[in-house]
């Protein structure tokens, strides 16, 4: 066989092997039954924790109204970038410490207390506290909770997964990050969901740089997720972050035709949510806690990134 035919044959074989591998993985997923834990029930929510008067607070704290998404994109000069780095580094450290607390029997309220104390000890303000009336200093989203879970008296159970979403306000800048942690002995299906969700976030970040189109993020995330049979939750998006907690650009994590390109010095979050089952959702009467409609589990990861000339700097990487 000629060398050229060998190359063609090798490529065909490689493509066939890849197709067979994907078919095998899909078959394994469809043949694996997922046993859902007991549905989440609201525990007791304790009063909000105090913040020392000398710690600067974001302007929305003085009202219970949910702020509008700010229309301006957030760009930073050298001084602003350093302040963003400081806020994001603090958020990353707090998140890492919070994750070390995750174990069966701990309550999400205890996690909230620890996060609150770490943030105010650093002279910063916990951004979620008082945002649109949110009563706690961190979001804790367990199992089928997609996002915005309010910490309460529920104890974590062996086999749970929990997303902890930390945002700090330091020296006038917000740093925002989240991660889904495993609690005790988690089954392989949930481990795969968590792993692929993190990989999808990383794939989205990898396409970011000055001049890149925003729609590339959703395309790359969707391509990776589809290999494993997961669908992204389209309702929740990434956002600009900096002096303002939430601003343009809105970052879509699914395939889209949204216009616009990234600019050096810009900061925003990438934070996809994936589920096993339906991506439809319901929200509890507290107007925050959002669950999957069918009770299937959800996982989320989030980083704040800075656009550079050649790529993206992950500001919340610990």
Structure tokens of 218?
Answer: 């959703």
Pick left, alpha or beta for residue 214 (phi over 0 → left; psi -120 to 50 → alpha; otherwise beta). alpha
Residue 23 is labelled as binding a ligand = no
Q: Quick one: which of 223, 218, 225, 221 has its CA closest to 259?
A: 218
- What predicted TM-score, i.e. pTM, was given to this entire model? 0.89
Instruction: Please say whether the dihedral angle defined by the alpha carbons of residues 273, 208, 218 and 228, taken in this order, is positive or negative.
Output: negative
Residue 116 is labelled as binding a ligand = no
Residue 302 is labelled as binding a ligand = yes
What are the tens digits of pLDDT across the range 228-287? 999 899 999 999 999 999 999 999 999 999 999 999 999 999 999 999 999 999 999 999
Which whole number is the average pLDDT over 128-155?
98
What are the tens digits of pLDDT across the range 60-90? 998 888 999 999 999 999 999 999 999 999 9
Residue 271 is labelled as binding a ligand = yes
Which whole number is the average pLDDT over 149-155?
98
Residue 165 is labelled as binding a ligand = yes
What phi and psi values does residue 292 have, to the nearest 5 degrees?
-65, 145
Residue 76 is labelled as binding a ligand = no
% of residues, the chain, pLDDT over 90: 86
């Amino acid at each position: 066989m000629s060398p050229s035919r060998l190359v063609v044959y090798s490529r065909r074989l490689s493509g066939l092997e890849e197709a067979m591998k994907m078919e095998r993985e899909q078959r394994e997923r469809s043949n694996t039954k997922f046993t859902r834990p007991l549905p989440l029930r609201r525990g007791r929510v304790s009063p909000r924790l105090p913040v020392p008067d000398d710690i600067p607070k974001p302007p929305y704290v003085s009202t219970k109204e949910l702020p509008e998404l700010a229309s301006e994109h957030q760009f930073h000069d050298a001084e602003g970038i350093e302040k963003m780095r400081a806020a994001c580094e603090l958020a990353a450290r707090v998140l890492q410490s919070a994750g070390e607390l995750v174990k069966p029997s701990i309550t999400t309220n205890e996690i909230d207390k620890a996060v609150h104390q770490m943030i105010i000890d650093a002279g910063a303000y916990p951004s979620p506290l008082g945002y649109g009336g949110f009563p706690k200093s961190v979001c804790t989203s367990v199992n089928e909770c997609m996002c915005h879970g309010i910490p309460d008296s529920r104890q974590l159970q062996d086999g749970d997964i929990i997303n902890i979403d930390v945002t700090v306000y330091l020296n006038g800048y917000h740093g925002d990050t989240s991660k889904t942690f495993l609690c005790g002995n988690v089954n392989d299906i949930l481990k795969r969901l968590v792993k692929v969700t993190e990989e999808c976030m990383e794939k989205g970040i990898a396409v970011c740089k000055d001049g890149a189109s925003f729609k590339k993020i959703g395309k790359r995330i969707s391509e990776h997720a589809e290999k494993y049979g997961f669908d992204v939750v389209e309702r929740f998006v990434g956002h600009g972050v900096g002096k303002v907690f939430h601003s343009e650009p809105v970052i879509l994590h699914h395939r889209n035709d949204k216009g616009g390109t990234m600019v050096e010095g810009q900061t925003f979050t990438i934070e996809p949510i994936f589920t096993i089952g339906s991506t439809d959702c319901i929200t509890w009467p507290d107007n925050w806690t959002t669950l999957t409609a069918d009770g299937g589990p959800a996982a989320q990861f989030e980083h704040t990134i800075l656009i550079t000339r050649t790529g993206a700097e992950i500001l919340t990487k610990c």
